[in-house]
Amino acid sequence: MNKWVLNIIAIVLAVLFVFPLIWMLLVSLKPDGTNVYTMSDWVHFADLTFSNYKKVLTGSAILRWTWNSTVIGVITTLLSILLSSLAAYSFSKMPFKSKGFLFVLITSGLLIPTEAILIPLYETTLHLNLIDNMWAIILPGLTNPIGILLLKQFMDGVPKDYIEAAQIDGSGTFRIWWNICLPLTKSAMVSVGIFFLILSWNNFLWPYLTITSEENMILSAGLPTFLSNNNMSLNMIMTASGIAAIPTIVVFALLQRHIVQGVAMSGVKG
Amino acid sequence: MNMKSIELPEKRALGNRAKAELKAIMYIVPFLIPFAIFYLWPVLRGTWISLHVWNIQGMQRYVGLDNYKRIFENSDFYKYLWNSFYFVLIGAPTVIVLGLILALIINQRIWFRTLIRSAYFLPYVLSVSVISFIWLKLFDPKNGPVNALLGLLGIHQDINWLTDHRFVWWAITIATDWWTVGFVMVLFLAGLQEIPQDHYEAATIDGAGTWSKFWHITMPGLSRVMKIQVFYQVISCLKLFGQVQIMTGGGPGDSTNTMIRYIYVTGFKKDMFGLASAQSIVFCVIMLLIAVIQFKLTDRKD
């Protein structure tokens, strides 16, 4: 009995959770101008059409924005992992005097969020001539110290013997990083990478401020322009949301185990 | 000429140490460069800007602490600060409790466990603009399914979720909780799986009930994750911006205008960089104080 109640609660909650997404897709597939309000509207499938998708895809720069978001996300993630791994290697495996100071300095980056330094960050970006440039989003994205903290923990777990053996074989520090530390922290790098990718993909306020042209816009910041366009119907707005959401949903469906694990690891340790 | 051969060993050791130091730092430099330009420098620069009248053209004149005085003399500041805190008070507890409940459900042997876990987590991977769009329309008073569902439950009122100041914060909270609760759930799940199973078995032998097991084994076992979660959720609630910017524009009136949106409007809509920088610093100090208080409180418990 108890078991049944629990299962039913779990399923009802799951239905409630996916309902907004199903509704979005349903509305986006209804002809432009159709209302979806009553129950009978919801289950009336005869008039479903892809015409809204065709209209949004051809009439707006949304595909371009998706591409920009992907490029920025991938570059930010790869660079972040690389820089974090190098720094983590140094903090974990090399003794040096200024270690303590530098580590505290870098971790202080966790204390002040981007939102709190918007104005000077904007000014800096302006002076570097990066406004309306994808590097304006990528470069500030590289300052998150969480990757260093996580990867350092994993590097600490790399046995000393491995490194000493490599030193005896005549490997330099760089080769030890490349041949030993990098492969042994692969799973941690995937987790950190997924975390960075989600952060970058969902970045809103900063791109909203720094990207000014339609052509360089990214998805999360470009979408609200559909709202300011007053003759957009409910169906068209949901179509735009659908186009923005579908790639993420597909990637999530394919990689859900890795994504859930990656987020759990980054969140718990961070 | 023969200086090299009679160089003192300590000196050579010193040279080697300096070399090792340099080498170690070299691996950190690639991270330090963007970190210095896009984090450290703006933090210092912001303090400098806050002491001036400053706009998009650059510095106009030095005004000392006048900007700070203006902030504290303006009643808007207290209103928006309160709004930000209000969202912490309703957003953080709801998302944590919900996340814990979902984690406890998923941790049981239920049907379609992976699928259901995915359903709960899925909204988290969407961007803030997508979730704001969806909920903007779900909350539509005339044609939105939220009111339609309430109608099915017998509540036949057209609630103006986003334009009535009594409901608007709940609307934002519902949308935000739906969006981020999967993240909270996953962290609690990881925490639950670290609690040794034999603690529960021992408690069962001692005749402990479900509740008593929850309070004496589960909750203490989750205390570390709980601490991290409270910390994280308080900060992320204070940073609220995207949802209000898209769903309400700070309205109705200015009842959902938050500190971040206040800074954004002052700086980028009114072109008052100096004042906005001062606001950022005040807000930042408040956030740091909260972090310190949380640290002290949770430390004492241990």
CATH code (residue A129)? 1.10.3720.10
Distance CA B217, CA B253 (A): 47
Distance CA B116, CA A155 (A): 34
User: Residue B3: pLDDT band by 50, 70, 90 thresholds?
Assistant: very low
Claim to verify: residue A155 and residue A199 sit in the same structural domain: yes
> How far off is chain A from B129, nearest CA to CA, in Å?
6
Kindly list the residues from chain B whose CB atom is less than 8 angstroms away from the CB atom of residue A201: 125, 127
Claim to verify: residue A11 and residue A141 sit in the same structural domain: no
**CA distances from residue B68 to B47, B247, B265, B279 in whole angstroms, order as listed:** 11, 31, 17, 8
Claim to verify: residue A36 and residue A112 sit in the same structural domain: no
What is the per-residue pLDDT across B127-153, written as a single tens digit (0 to 9) for each? 899 999 999 989 988 878 888 888 888
Residues 59 through 88 of chain B touching chain A, CB cutoff 8 Å: none
Find the DSSP H helices in chain A: 2-28, 39-42, 51-59, 62-93, 99-107, 118-127, 135-141, 146-156, 160-168, 173-176, 182-184, 186-202, 205-210, 219-222, 225-228, 234-269
Q: What is the pLDDT of residue A91?
A: 94
Which ranges in chain B are annotated with CATH 1.10.3720.10?
Answer: 71-301
Q: Which among A6, A241, A268 has the least Cβ separation from residue B105? A: A6
Claim to verify: residue A162 and residue A190 sit in the same structural domain: yes
**Which of B56, B127, B158, B293 to mutate against chain A (most A CBs within 10 Å)?**
B127
Claim to verify: residue A34 and residue A161 sit in the same structural domain: no
Average pLDDT over residues B292-300: 80
Residue B58's DSSP bridge partners are: B55
B93-98 contacts: CB < 8 A, separation 24 or more?
B94/B173, B94/B177, B95/B176, B95/B177, B95/B180, B95/B181, B95/B184, B95/B233, B96/B184, B96/B226, B96/B229, B96/B230, B96/B233, B98/B177, B98/B181, B98/B184
What is the per-residue pLDDT across B207-221, written as a single tens digit (0 to 9) for each? 888 888 899 889 998
User: Is the four-CA dihedral A137, A138, A143, A149 of positive or negative sign?
Assistant: positive
What is the per-residue pLDDT across A135-171, written as a single tens digit (0 to 9) for each? 999 999 999 998 999 899 899 988 888 888 988 988 8
User: Which tokens belong to B119?
Assistant: 């359903």
- Greater confidence, A115 or A209? A209
Indicate the pTM of the whole model.
Answer: 0.88
For the cut 80, the answer to whether the pLDDT of residue A45 exceeds it is no
Kindly list the residues from chain A whose CB atom is less than 8 angstroms away from the CB atom of residue B189: 264
User: Residue A230: pLDDT band by 50, 70, 90 thresholds?
Assistant: low
> How far off is chain B from A160, nearest CA to CA, in Å?
17
Least Cα distance to B122 among B177, B183, B170 occurs for: B183
User: What's the domain range around A44?
Assistant: 1-49
Claim to verify: residue A163 and residue A257 sit in the same structural domain: yes
Claim to verify: residue A230 and residue A210 sit in the same structural domain: yes
| Start-to-end CA span in chain B (Å) | 65
Average pLDDT over residues A217-243: 84
Contact B241/A83, CB-based, under 8 Å?
no
Average pLDDT over residues B249-268: 91
Are B60 and B54 in contact by the 8 Å Cβ rule? The answer is yes
Claim to verify: residue A6 and residue A116 sit in the same structural domain: no
Q: What is the pLDDT of residue A135?
A: 96
Q: What is the pLDDT of residue B302?
A: 46
Claim to verify: residue A115 and residue A185 sit in the same structural domain: yes
Query: What is the Cβ-side half-sphere exposure of residue B280, based on CA atoms within 13 angstroms?
Result: 31
User: Residue B55: pLDDT band by 50, 70, 90 thresholds?
Assistant: confident
Question: What are the φ and ψ backbone dihedral angles of B266, each rounded to 5 degrees?
Answer: -60, -45
Angle between helices A234-269 and A2-28 (to 10 degrees): 130
For the cut 50, the answer to whether the pLDDT of residue B2 exceeds it is no
Q: What is the pLDDT of residue B42?
A: 93
What is the per-residue pLDDT across B62-80, written as a single tens digit (0 to 9) for each? 888 989 999 999 999 999 9
Average pLDDT over residues B164-180: 94
Residue A252 lies in a domain: yes
What is the per-residue pLDDT across A11-41, written as a single tens digit (0 to 9) for each? 999 999 999 999 899 888 888 877 776 666 7
Structural fold of domain B71-301: MetI-like fold (1.10.3720)
Q: What is the pLDDT of residue B8?
A: 59
Kindly list the residues from chain A whose CB atom is less than 8 angstroms away from the CB atom of residue B267: 118-119, 122
Residue A54 lies in a domain: no
The identity of residue A170, as a single letter, is G
pLDDT-above-70 percentage for chain A: 94
The neighbour count for residue B78, using CB atoms within 10 Å, is 11
For the cut 70, the answer to whether the pLDDT of residue A270 exceeds it is no
Which of A27-41, A199-213, A232-246 is the least confident region?
A: A27-41
Average pLDDT, chain B: 88
Distance CA A206, CA A203 (A): 7
Claim to verify: residue A21 and residue A67 sit in the same structural domain: no
What is the per-residue pLDDT across B221-256, written as a single tens digit (0 to 9) for each? 898 889 888 988 998 899 999 999 999 988 788 899
What's the domain count of chain A? 2
Claim to verify: residue A44 and residue A70 sit in the same structural domain: no
Residue A22 lies in a domain: yes
Claim to verify: residue A44 and residue A85 sit in the same structural domain: no
User: Residue B88: pLDDT band by 50, 70, 90 thresholds?
Assistant: very high
Which of A51-60, B237-246, B267-276 is the least confident region?
A: A51-60
Q: What is the pLDDT of residue A198?
A: 85
Predicted complex ipTM: 0.87
Which of A26, A49, A72 represents a domain boundary (last residue)? A49
Q: What is the pLDDT of residue A152?
A: 93
Contact A119/B49, CB-based, under 8 Å?
yes
